[in-house]
Amino acid sequence: MTADAPSASAVKAAAPAVRGQRARTATGYLRYGAGKVGGAAVSLLAVLATGFFLFRLIPGDPVKTMTGGRPISAEQLAAYREEFGLDLPLWQQFTDYCGKALTGDLGTSYQFRAPVVDKISEALPNTLLLTGTAFVLYTLLGIVLGTRSAWRHGGLGDRLNTGLALTLYSIPSFWLGLLLIIVFSVGVGPVPGLFPTGGMESGGEEGFAYVLDVAHHLILPVVTLVAVEYGQTLLVARSALLDEMGSDYLTTARAKGLRDDLVRRRHAVPNALLPTVTLVFVNLGRTVAGVILVETVFSWPGLGGLFYQALSVPDLPLVQGLFLFFAAAVIVMNTLADLVYPLLDPRVGR
């Protein structure tokens, strides 16, 4: 045995210390996670209360709106209000709503006469198809272009990428969607109308033809979302990587003879992930929530379009249920991001 080799007794003595450190780390992570989950639960309760009172400030009488302006007697109006529980005191409406919501019952839609949960379940797959496709594309595009721009910052490519991203990010999504409809659906000059003006399908198609038809309707709304949203991911990824550019570990990696691309992929990008991970999880929550303006412009039958329909009545149970669902999606994804942080960087949560 050499003088530098640790003895068996020394290894045995160090083992309890290592186990103790791991136990303290696990306990600290559990406390950290419990705090984040508790904060998320409080946020959801606040959203529950806010949604109930906020949408009752919308002008208009839901019962009169549902009658379509037809003459109706006071007795019929009273019967409708009693049916929907609108004749009860506000505090009682609130307690009933909270009690049912906590058990998963979000009420019955005024205009559709169907459970709100069922309407959300029907529209959710359509929203996930649209926003999920766009999310994957604009996240990958933003990260790839953002890291390349940061690695060669100040060059022509960086200036072009950043300028285009800022320009598209500042354009309202509904305006860009309308512009794409005018140019590529209606047709302008020599440009023919290549895509449908809205909807999710033409109808009458089956099998593979149906898949192609849906994909054809999907192109313009996805292009709209990607064009508007990728710039945010690009700018965050670029900024995070620029902060790492002068770090000593990158100089050491280059001194070892690693190629520039390897230094970027293996060392710089992984250490610049935290801000980008935050944005990815936030965008993922918004993906579940849908995009109201884009879905409305393209008449896409998703949660965003359903929310717009509900606001026009106002259909209070449906509006409240969708608002709670949207907020819950964002809160849950933010909480997941907080729980992932310590796994990416052990310094977080200590």
Residue 43's domain is classified under what CATH number?
1.10.3720.10
Residue 57 φ then ψ, to 5°: -85, -10
Instruction: Assess whether pLDDT exceeds 90 at residue 265.
Output: no
Please indicate, yes or no, if residue 89 is contained in any of the structural domains.
no
Please indicate, yes or no, if residue 350 is contained in any of the structural domains.
no
The rounded distance, in Å, linking the Cα atoms of 120 and 321 is 8
Mean pLDDT, all residues of the chain:
79
Identify the residue with better confidence: 214 or 274: 214
Structure tokens of 184? 């590529």
- Closest residue by Cα to residue 260 from 150, 179, 343, 155: 150
Instruction: Assess whether pLDDT exceeds 80 at residue 266.
Output: no
Please indicate, yes or no, if residue 324 is contained in any of the structural domains.
yes
Please indicate, yes or no, if residue 147 is contained in any of the structural domains.
yes
Q: What is the pLDDT of residues 94-129, one digit of tens each?
A: 888 888 888 888 888 888 888 899 999 999 999 989
Residue 276: its pLDDT value, please?
Answer: 78
Report, as an integer, the average pLDDT of 262-291: 72
Please indicate, yes or no, if residue 304 is contained in any of the structural domains.
yes
For tokens 């549902």, the residue is 66
Q: What is the pLDDT of residues 59-84, one digit of tens each?
A: 666 666 666 666 677 777 777 777 76
Please indicate, yes or no, if residue 68 is contained in any of the structural domains.
no
Omega before 115 cis (within 30°)?
Answer: no
Q: What is the pLDDT of residues 129-177, one digit of tens each?
A: 998 899 999 999 988 888 888 878 778 888 898 899 889 888 888 899 8
Residue 1: its pLDDT value, please?
Answer: 45
The rounded distance, in Å, linking the Cα atoms of 142 and 275 is 13
195: containing domain: 21-59+106-344
Q: Which amino acid is at 39?
A: G
Please indicate, yes or no, if residue 96 is contained in any of the structural domains.
no
Please indicate, yes or no, if residue 46 is contained in any of the structural domains.
yes
> Are the CB atoms for 254 and 268 separated by under 8 Å?
no
- Closest residue by Cα to residue 311 from 300, 322, 301: 322
The number of distinct structural domains making up the chain is 1
